[in-house]
Homo-oligomer: A and B are copies of this chain.
Amino acid sequence: MMKIRASEIASLAETVLIRHGVAPAYAETQVNLLLQAEMRGFASHGLLRLRRIVERIASGVSAPNATGTHEWLGQNFLAVDGQGGLGPIVALAALDTIEQRARESGIALTAIRNSNHIGMLAWYGEQMAAKGLILIAMTTSEALVHPWGGRSAMLGTNPLCIAVPANPEPLVLDMATSLVAMGKIHDYANRGVPIPAGWALDRQGDPTTDAAAAKAGAIAPFGGAKGYALGLAIEVLVTALSGAAIGTDIVGTLDSDKVCNKGDVFILISPQQGAAIEALVSAYLDDIRQCAPASPGEPVSVPGDRARRACAKSLADGVEIDAGLWRDLQSLDQISIGKVNLL
């Protein structure tokens, strides 16, 4: 690991995207999303993904500057065809479009298909909470998770984000419905270390602690039957609302050459209850933080707190980044991948 200033990473990564045809403002947005994940220690959603984004533009399955077409299926239901645009560009354009209706009506929804990986959901939740809005966000992805009591991967890791404004800091839940990330299993495999029992099945559907075997198998849902049920509900809800693909048909967030066909759903709510209720919620969250800890010196966290602290530390001290990844980012800056270098 090495430490690099956040601005230095951003500058390099934006240059790479711009060299591949992404408009400077969109490059800044996409890189901010990746960098925010990196700064929180969520490497799987961090700058690791830049190479794939560039390769997908080069292979023609991602459109570097598409923002998506918007169609109101109801006054508060915005259907978006992302036209192959970058995930955060399409998603922010959709959120921007529904924001006014959410404020006026109390609630609005956007369902997106044909867009790319939207990254760490907390990034959207924090932005909406900072505007005084509640966000519920869900997205699907390649089938990597097995049903509870089943032997093969049939669900995405299907994360859920719930963000609620509070003072001084909002609650920002952002969690995958898998027990662990597939990236973590790859990491164990790379280090030749066995994974804990219960994490995964092998290709034949049998429980395994062999990380290499798990890579070809299926990850367990978190929380047993309940986590499975939640992940399945998200899979079904996202497709029912967006018209995106479902289950093992989903491709395009782990490869560089397939049109991405997962879906995203954002529900934006204006709390409407005023400052006294926001103060009540904020005081409760502070009580939670003050709860006597099970382990002395390990205070109870509100979702979002740890990520925020890690982010502040990265900004102050520099971003911890894998040395090999940093070299790869630098090499991306030296070369053009494929045919789409427009500069």
A residues whose Cβ falls under 8 Å from a Cβ of B: 73-77, 79, 104-109, 134, 136, 146-152, 154, 160, 162, 164-166, 171, 173, 175, 205, 222-224, 226-227, 229-230, 232-237, 239-243, 246-247, 267, 269-273, 277-278, 280-281, 284-285, 287-288, 291-295, 298-303
- B240 & A292 in contact (Cβ 8 Å cutoff): no
Give this chain's copy count. Answer: 2
- B284 & A149 in contact (Cβ 8 Å cutoff): no
- B280 & A239 in contact (Cβ 8 Å cutoff): yes
* Interface of A (DSSP majority class): mixed
Chain B residues near A75 (CB, 8 Å)? 104-106
- A233 & B164 in contact (Cβ 8 Å cutoff): yes
Residue of B nearest to A272 (CB): B73
| 17 examples of A-B residue contacts, CB within 8 angstroms | A77-B105, A105-B105, A149-B294, A149-B298, A149-B299, A150-B291, A160-B230, A162-B233, A164-B236, A166-B236, A222-B226, A222-B227, A226-B227, A232-B302, A239-B281, A246-B280, A246-B281
Q: Shortest CB–CB separation between residue A259 and chain B, in angstroms?
A: 17
- B232 & A151 in contact (Cβ 8 Å cutoff): no
State in angstroms the CA–CA spacing of A242 and B277 once bound together.
9
Chain B residues near A108 (CB, 8 Å)? 76, 107
Q: Shortest CB–CB separation between residue A285 and chain B, in angstroms?
A: 7
Q: Do A284 and B109 contact each other (CB < 8 Å), given the known contacts A73-B272, A233-B171, A292-B152?
A: no
- B241 & A300 in contact (Cβ 8 Å cutoff): no
A293 interface neighbour in B149, B175, B294, Cβ under 8 Å: B149
State in angstroms the CA–CA spacing of A291 and B221 once bound together.
15
Residue of B nearest to A160 (CB): B230
Q: Shortest CB–CB separation between residue A63 and chain B, in angstroms?
A: 23
Q: Shortest CB–CB separation between residue A184 and chain B, in angstroms?
A: 14
Q: Do A151 and B240 contact each other (CB < 8 Å), given the known contacts A76-B76, A223-B222, A302-B232?
A: no
Q: Do A272 and B229 contact each other (CB < 8 Å), given the known contacts A150-B293, A236-B281, A247-B284?
A: no
Chain B residues near A233 (CB, 8 Å)? 162, 164, 171, 173, 303
Question: Which 5 A/B pairs are nearest by Cβ-Cβ distance?
Answer: A77-B106, A223-B223, A74-B106, A150-B291, A162-B233
A240 interface neighbour in B106, B164, B267, Cβ under 8 Å: B164
Q: Shortest CB–CB separation between residue A279 and chain B, in angstroms?
A: 11
- A239 & B76 in contact (Cβ 8 Å cutoff): no
Q: Shortest CB–CB separation between residue A48 and chain B, in angstroms?
A: 23
Q: Shortest CB–CB separation between residue A191 and chain B, in angstroms?
A: 24
Chain B residues near A288 (CB, 8 Å)? 147, 150, 154, 232, 247
Chain B residues near A246 (CB, 8 Å)? 280-281, 284
